[in-house]
Structure 1
Amino acid sequence: MGASAYAPRVMLKIVLLAYSQGLISSRVIAQTVHATSSSSPSAATANPATPTSPSSSAA
């Protein structure tokens, strides 16, 4: 049911980066990610619930 979740580590990185840039609105963050993902090949190919790299640490 519903859409697949994005990897939690990716979401945390996005939120922390956005807050460090002064973006606190979730809508503004979403618009910024959407606008920049079209110019970034790694972000454009990321799929929900698909890790971007294998986890080497057992946290």
Structure 2
Amino acid sequence: MSLTIGTIFTSQGGIIVENPRLLALMEIPVITFYTINLGVGFAVGGVVLSLALVPPDGEGL
């Protein structure tokens, strides 16, 4: 996702600078993407810890 956004700015930077509303339109899906990924990461981490696949104290790693 970050690579895609960087590519958009590289190829269409002039248009984005001329029309700042485009940044607001892009902001919603970007924030949603990272929020969902953060939530999934915490959920998976919680499941792994609850299954005792990783010791909570970190020993034995």
On whether the aligned pair clears a TM of 0.5, the verdict is: no
Structure with greater Cα Rg: 2
In the superposition, the TM-score normalised over structure 2's length comes to: 0.28
In the superposition, the TM-score normalised over structure 1's length comes to: 0.28
Query: RCO greater where, 1 or 2, for CA within 8 Å and sep 6 or more?
Result: 1
